[in-house]
Amino acid sequence: MDLLGLSLALFGAALAAALSGIGSAIGIGIAGGSAAGVMTEDPNKFGSCLILQALPGTQGIYGLLITFFVLNKLGLLGGAGAVALNWNQGLQIFASCMPIAIVGWISAIYQGKTSAASIQMISKKPEAMGKAIILPAMVETYAVLALLTSILMLMGVQVG
């Protein structure tokens, strides 16, 4: 059973990158559809549309960040060899990955919807760009908090 811990930890790391990546992809997709619609009318809005479309992309990066964090902790990056892990420690690392995996996934989708609405808003009122950026950022708060939770949990888990 000596590999169960490592497997659990890797499973968690994979979910962190995969779920938040899925969420970001969906969110950016939703916002992108809206942006394309606005740009058919006014191609000059490309710059502001792109910024708004990019906002739901951070969750995927947060997930990736946690995945690398775990891989680094497990000694899987850079040839040092995996550290020994019992299944308890593996499960702890798995649990630490869950906040960003789940919150990243779902918040990115809702942030995408908000971004899409913001893009519609700047198509009518280009001067409202500041407000349009803040609305999706309100959603992102919870992804940031989940990232923080995952980081603090991971730092607390003792391995090796």
Partner 1 sequence: MGVAKLKKAELYYHKSVHEEIAAALQETGVCQIIGDAEGGPAVVEARLSESEAHLADVRYLMRTLTPHFNDPISSLDRTLGERPVVSMSDLSKLAHETDLSSICTKVRGLEHETGEVRLELSQARANQGLLEAFSFLPCPLSAVTEGTRTLAGVAGTVKADQLEAFKTALREFSEDTELILEPSYGAGGASPASKPKAQDIHVVLFFTRSRGPAVLEACVKKGLSVLEIPSAFKGTVSEERTKMTASIATLEEREAALVREMEEVAETWMPAVQKLSDYWNSLAARYTALGRSGETERTQLTRFWVPAKDAEAVQKKIEAVSPNVALFLSDPAEDEEPPTLLENGDYVRPFNILTELYSPPKYRGIDPTPLLAPFFFIFFGMCLGDAGYAIVMLAAIWWLFRKYRRVPLGVRDFIVLFAFSAVSTFVYGIISGSFFGNFIDSFLPFLVPVKNALMLVDPMTNPMQVLGISLLLGVIHLMFGLLIAAYDNFRNGQPVDAIGADISWFLLIVGLCLMGVAMGGMVPPHFQSVGQAMAIIGAVIIFWYAGREKSGIISKIISGFLALYGSTSYLGDILSYSRLLALGFGSAVIGMIINLLGGMAADIPYIGWLIAVVVIAGGHLFSILINLLGAFVHPLRLQYVEFFGKFYTGGGEPFTPLALSEEFVSVKQ
Which of 7, 33, 148, 160 touches partner 1 (CB under 8 A)?
148
Which of 36, 42, 84, 141 touches partner 1 (CB under 8 A)?
141
Q: Is 137 in the site for partner 1 (CB under 8 A)?
A: yes
Q: Which residue has the tokens 């497990």?
A: 74
Binders of partner 1 in range 101-120 (CB under 8 A): none
First vs last Cα of the chain: how many Å apart? Answer: 16
Taking the C-alpha atoms of residue 74 and residue 58, their distance in angstroms, rounded to an integer, is 24
Q: Which residue has the tokens 């939703």?
A: 30
Q: How many CA atoms lie within 13 A of 95 on its CB side?
A: 11
Which of 72, 80, 88, 125 touches partner 1 (CB under 8 A)?
72
Which of 88, 126, 131, 160 touches partner 1 (CB under 8 A)?
131
Taking the C-alpha atoms of residue 142 and residue 148, their distance in angstroms, rounded to an integer, is 10
Nearer to partner 1, 121 or 137 (CB): 137
Q: Rounded to the nearest 5°, which phi and psi values hold at 82?
A: -70, 145
Q: Is 91 in the site for partner 1 (CB under 8 A)?
A: no
Tell me which residues touch partner 1 (CB under 8 A).
44, 51, 54-55, 57-58, 61-62, 64-65, 68-69, 72, 77-78, 129-131, 133-134, 137-138, 140-141, 144-145, 147-148, 151-152, 155
